[in-house]
Amino acid sequence: MSIGTRIQQLRINNGLTQEQLAEKLAVSRQSVSKWEMDQSLPEIDKVIQMSRLFSVGTDGILLEPEEAGKLRPQELHLGSVYLIARDFEASVSFYEQLLSMGVSTRNCGNKFAEFFFDNKCLSVMNEENLPGHHYGDGDYKFVLNFWVEDLRREYQRLQGLKIGRMTEIKKVHEGYYYFHIFDPDNNVCEITGGYTANAVSETETQDRRSDMKTICQSCGMEMGANDYGKNADGSRNSDYCKYCFPNGNFGKDETMEEMIESCIPFRIGQDRTPEDARKEMLALLPTLKRWKNQGRPQ
């Protein structure tokens, strides 16, 4: 489905004629007609206006659904709440009476007991046995357990956000991998999900992580170790590349549209036309730190 077809579909689904959409966007009806026939592309400010008008992201207008899905964060599902109990038997009795139900399952002897209710699981964990299980680190009394489809992708997303201390991805047994991220009070969120471990040593893993490329939050360029910008004090800036942020400030005072046009020549190739590059940049830049407030619907 082309961009024009998606605009037409969104317009019709929202009960608007071409004339009505044109009036809302302060353009001519002929402009809307050309967009829908793929004879021209809307300006970026018009894409943003349409995303607000139709209550969709800009990528919902510019990209195929499969491509748009790759840019969105994975859905995070709450699996269980793990309560760390100092007096295990007393806690099990307390929750049996509080919930008016018996223990649903009791696994590994007296290591933990599970209560299933309201489509969720409360797992009471015996603090004395934690060293023999896989919750040996951290000073906490409860754990929120989540799962995602792709554990490695979620790990990289949270690592990039830098919102809390994280462990490495760890293995309980084949088919069950997890990592922990700690909230400001040192409580734990455990993330589990699909994961295929690489057959490399821990040293190699750390080396690869240190060399992992991140994306410039201004132009979208992948940055290697020598591509980062500099802060005013000469230290490395981890958000922006050396071309966008050379010495503590942005090198050029430009709009997002000007940035897109200046980047297009560097993104075209044998199988990528200038229009392909423009579409990718129109979808990517509004998600980046420098442009997020300007380019994403609020």
Higher pLDDT, 9 or 129: 9
Q: What is the tally of structural domains in the chain?
A: 3
Residue 221 belongs to what domain range?
Answer: 214-295
- State yes or no: pLDDT of 295 exceeds 50: no
Q: Is residue 209 part of a domain?
A: no
In terms of Cβ atoms closer than 10 Å to its own Cβ (0-12, 13-18, 19+), residue 116 is: middle
**Mean predicted confidence (pLDDT) in 111-136:** 74
Q: Is residue 208 part of a domain?
A: no
pLDDT value at residue 147: 83
Residue 51 sits in a domain of what CATH number? 1.10.260.40
Residue 113 sits in a domain of what CATH number? 3.10.180.10
Q: Is residue 207 part of a domain?
A: no
| Domain end marker among 37, 71, 105 | 71
Round to whole Å and give the CA distance between 13 and 160: 37
pLDDT value at residue 74: 66
- State yes or no: pLDDT of 206 exceeds 50: no
pLDDT value at residue 108: 64
Instruction: Return the percentage of the chain with pLDDT > 70, whole number.
Output: 80
Looking at the fold, whether 65 and 149 belong to one and the same domain comes out as: no
Q: Is residue 136 part of a domain?
A: yes
Looking at the fold, whether 88 and 65 belong to one and the same domain comes out as: no
DSSP letter string over 99-147? HTS--SEEETTTTEEEEEETTEEEEEEEGGGGGGTT--SS--SEEEEEE
| Domain end marker among 44, 71, 98 | 71
- State yes or no: pLDDT of 203 exceeds 70: no
pLDDT value at residue 211: 43
Higher pLDDT, 29 or 75: 29
**Mean predicted confidence (pLDDT) in 110-135:** 75
Looking at the fold, whether 183 and 288 belong to one and the same domain comes out as: no
| E strand or H helix at 150 | strand 142-150
Highest average pLDDT, of 54-63, 88-97, 245-254, 260-269, comes from 245-254
Q: Is residue 120 part of a domain?
A: yes
Q: Name the token pair of 89.
A: 């038997």
Looking at the fold, whether 16 and 59 belong to one and the same domain comes out as: yes
Looking at the fold, whether 234 and 131 belong to one and the same domain comes out as: no
Q: Name the token pair of 190.
A: 């455990």
Q: Is residue 61 part of a domain?
A: yes
- State yes or no: pLDDT of 212 exceeds 70: no
pLDDT value at residue 99: 72
pLDDT value at residue 50: 92
Taking the model in full, what pTM does it have?
0.38
pLDDT digits (tens, 9 = 90+) for 84-95: 877 888 888 877
Q: What is the mean pLDDT of the chain?
A: 79
3 contacts 279 by C-beta, under 8 angstroms: yes
| Domain end marker among 14, 36, 71 | 71
In terms of Cβ atoms closer than 10 Å to its own Cβ (0-12, 13-18, 19+), residue 164 is: middle
